[in-house]
Amino acid sequence: MKYKLDKGAHSVYSLQYHLIFVIKYRRKVFDSPAIVDFLRQKFHEIASNLDVEILVMEPDLDHVHLVFKATPVLDMTRFINVLKTITSREIKRNFPAVKSKLWRSQFWSPSYFLATTGQVTLDVLNKYVEQQNQ
């Protein structure tokens, strides 16, 4: 089983995540290429400041998907809150017309979806672990 591994001072790891943010009440905000480009730029800027690598980012009209790599020391809650806070504030500041599409000026829904992803399926990993005792 071959992995593409990252290394730290005392660790070897492979951590990828799938994150989804939804606009509050699914308002259709990402309907302009300028807003989408701005969102991409901000996500990449924030991620790079927190030592996170965004692998894929795709917004739809009312939500955005991110696939990213992180280190084991990443404070995930802080990372997610920083992404949501800064992008909400900056999009509303730079694109004031967006505010009319929002409910009470609230940009992101307070909830989100986060899942770990891997380089192999869970079934393959389970089989590999089970065979270690043989």
Between β-strands 16-23 and 53-59, what pairing exists: parallel, antiparallel or unpaired?
A: unpaired
In a domain, 69, yes or no: yes
- The residue segments making up the domain with residue 13 are 6-133
Between β-strands 16-23 and 108-117, what pairing exists: parallel, antiparallel or unpaired?
A: antiparallel
Question: What is the count of structural domains for the chain?
Answer: 1
In a domain, 1, yes or no: no
The pLDDT value recorded for residue 26 is: 97
Which has more pLDDT, 120 or 89? Answer: 89
**CATH number of the domain bearing residue 25:** 3.30.70.1290
Q: Has residue 114 got a pLDDT over 80?
A: yes
In a domain, 115, yes or no: yes
Please state, in angstroms and rounded to a whole number, the distance separating the CA atoms of residues 28 and 23: 8
Q: pTM higher than 0.85 for the full model?
A: yes
Residues catalogued as catalytic: 128
In a domain, 12, yes or no: yes
